[in-house]
Amino acid sequence: MTAGAPTPPPSTAEAHEHSHADVSGGWLRAAVFGAMDGLVTNTALVAGVGGGGASSRAIVLSGVASLVAGAISMALGEYTSVKTQNEQLDLEVEKERRELERNPEGELAELIAMLRVRGVDERLAHEVAVQLSRDPETALRLHVVAELGLNPEDKPSPSVAAVSSFLTFATGALIPLVPFLLGSSLLWAALVCGGVGLFAAGAISARFTPRAWWYAGLRQLLFGAVAAGITYLIGSAIGVAVS
């Protein structure tokens, strides 16, 4: 650009592409929750069963049973939860659609008020609301997003959430069992594996949050340690009582 040349108006600026992380409660939430739950569940289970004096074979058997049952339960729970949320959103969308059909003036006034709250002056808010309301689907989407905080066109997939939860729970639950599956009979080795997995899972999850990786890792390790410690004490007490 030569010196003194006029600056192009903002309208001629090129839009740049960018993306955001999944925050709609889809695969990411299910994957993080599944991995954490699998790690905590089986690390605590190994601690409790091992603390009770069970053999390596019994620990592996109970751990694998917990892995399979927990992964299936998590997948079914996630599928049902997301499916129910989507169905509830569909119900609210239809309710809003009926309101737009029965009371268009009231809904127009509501849309104007939404724009005014966001800093648009009254005259412009009225013009924009009238223009947007010419397309019923656009008006419907704006009302739903503003009132429910959810976009009806961006619903999470129940199947994706279920599969993510199943796979990550199974992976997390497998980690504390690795030493036993490799032939070790040392309880502390399994607990160390579980602790490393918990720290790593927490650190990885920090990538999607403003938290420092070490803080998220230590927090998850602490949660798992508390669960494993309590379960170990209970298992030890039961083992002594029934011996």
- The residue with greater pLDDT, 239 or 36, is 36
Do the Cβ atoms of 124 and 65 come closer than 8 Å?
no
pLDDT over 60 (residue 36) = yes
Q: What is the pLDDT of residues 111-138, one digit of tens each?
A: 888 888 888 898 998 898 889 888 888 8
Maximum mean pLDDT: which of 44-48, 149-153, 208-212: 44-48
Euclidean distance between CA atoms 170 and 179, whole angstroms: 16
- pLDDT (mean) for 17-23: 52
Euclidean distance between CA atoms 150 and 93, whole angstroms: 10
pLDDT over 50 (residue 109) = yes
| Of 168, 210, 155, residue with least CA distance to 30 | 168
Q: What is the pLDDT of residues 60-77, one digit of tens each?
A: 999 999 999 999 999 999
Q: What is the value of pTM for the model shown?
A: 0.78
